[in-house]
Amino acid sequence: MFAEAEEHNPASRQDSQAERQEKRLAKLRRMASYKPELKKGTNPLAFADVLTSKQFDRASIEAVMTVATEMHAARAMQKKLDLCRGLILGNLFFEPSTRTACSFATAMMRLGGEVVQLDASTSSAQKGETFTDTIRVMENYTDCVVMRHPTVGSVAKAAEVAENPVINAGDGKGEHPTQALLDIFTILQERDVASPDGLTVTMVGDLKNGRTVHSLSRLLKHFDNISINYVAPDVLRMPREYIEEIEASGVKVREMESYRDVIGETDVFYMTRVQKERFETELEYERCKGLYVLTKKDMDIAAKEMIVLHPLPRVDEIDMEVDADPRAAYFRQAGCGLSLRMALLAMCLNKVDMGKHVI
Ligand code: NCD
């Protein structure tokens, strides 16, 4: 009856159309504040931030390695992955980057998502906007933010104000947890092992200012029978707090100024760049640069299965003639980084379930 009456009365039909529209808009307004449910799954990074290696334990490192292994194989098999279709990554870099910025961007694209890149040199940071304001705005546009900043602790601060996952792509001389995860992943790939248990790792160079060695040490401490040789001049030694933390977890730690006596028994040789940008004066940097250069001669006395890693960029600390040695894994390491970052994005955006295969 009502329908009939409405049919003969265009005004009331219009009314009910308007009512329907209003109801729909109210529903859409409610939908716009929808937050994806945290499915009770086994993904330890679901909607989580990645800020420090401290947040990982052995089980969560292994979960990341499992997903990264799936991603690595998927890439090799040229499988198209669409796990992040419709999602957008915000790349916020307040410090220079080649690998980290490009690999996160490529990772998102390989998962079917898209990327917005903020160039800090042309952004409102130049007008004095704080990075916490920038991140509050960027998270309105994107689903996840990757951030690099020169100040220790800044990325954690950004994560406090942001609701979406925030990933630390390096905070000054603090940490670089995604590099450390990709270093572990590279070790597993290169040595064809399921875990780093039992390995001897020699880290060389600027251990004071190099954030990659800080984060890597913190991940390695969760594995069994690990030995770490820290090789640096006195002024660039591994900070005490890290040594104490790593030793307390059962890692056998030795500090020395030359790697000559340990290269023959090293499984993973991890070279780093002297971090010029962290020195107070050019003179102080000049005193430290060029102290270590890995050469073909060193490789002659190194173990046959040793692998050489370097987070890159390299300045002069690995002689180019070493590149042709099959043990030089640093460029393959960059490739592993892409797969690892695909895994991290898919996990943080809760697009993988640990019980299920990706390919
Ligand atoms: C490292 C970094 O930024 O800390 N680079 C990288 O992310 N691959 C190492 C360095 O700059 O020396």
pLDDT tens, residue by residue, 66-119: 999 999 999 999 999 999 999 999 999 999 999 999 999 999 999 999 999 998
Determine whether the shortest distance from the Cβ of 100 to ligand 1 is under 6 A.
yes
Residue of 179, 186, 341 best suited for mutating to test ligand 1, as the one with most atoms within 8 Å of CB:
179
User: What ligand 1 atom has the least distance to the C-alpha of 95?
Assistant: 3
- Whether 27 is catalytic is no
CA distance 167 to 152: 14
Residue in the block written with tokens 């009910």: 16
- Please state whether beta strands 144-149 and 88-93 pair in parallel, antiparallel, or not at all (unpaired): parallel
How far, in Å, from the CA of 182 to the mean position of ligand 1?
A: 12
The protein residue whose alpha carbon is closest to atom 6 in ligand 1 is 311
- Whether 176 is catalytic is yes
Residue 37 CB contacts under 8 Å (≥ 6 apart), including other chains: none
Instruction: List the chain residues with pLDDT less than 50.
Output: 1
- Whether 130 is catalytic is no
Contact 213, 183 (CB under 8 A): no
User: What ligand 1 atom has the least distance to the C-alpha of 311?
Assistant: 8
The protein residue whose alpha carbon is closest to atom 7 in ligand 1 is 100
User: What ligand 1 atom has the least distance to the C-alpha of 206?
Assistant: 12
Determine the Cα angle at 320 with ends 319 and 326, to 5°.
Answer: 100
The protein residue whose alpha carbon is closest to atom 8 in ligand 1 is 311
Q: Between the CA atoms of 59, 63, 69 and 72, what dihedral angle is there, to the nearest 10 degrees?
A: -130
pTM value is: 0.93
Per-residue pLDDT, 18: 92
How far, in Å, from the CA of 164 to the mean position of ligand 1?
A: 25
pLDDT one-digit tens code per residue, 167-210: 999 999 999 999 999 999 999 999 999 999 999 999 999 999 99
- Whether 148 is catalytic is yes
User: What ligand 1 atom has the least distance to the C-alpha of 337?
Assistant: 8
CA distance 54 to 10: 67
Per-residue pLDDT, 354: 84
Residue of 93, 212, 272 best suited for mutating to test ligand 1, as the one with most atoms within 8 Å of CB:
212
How far, in Å, from the CA of 155 to the mean position of ligand 1?
A: 16
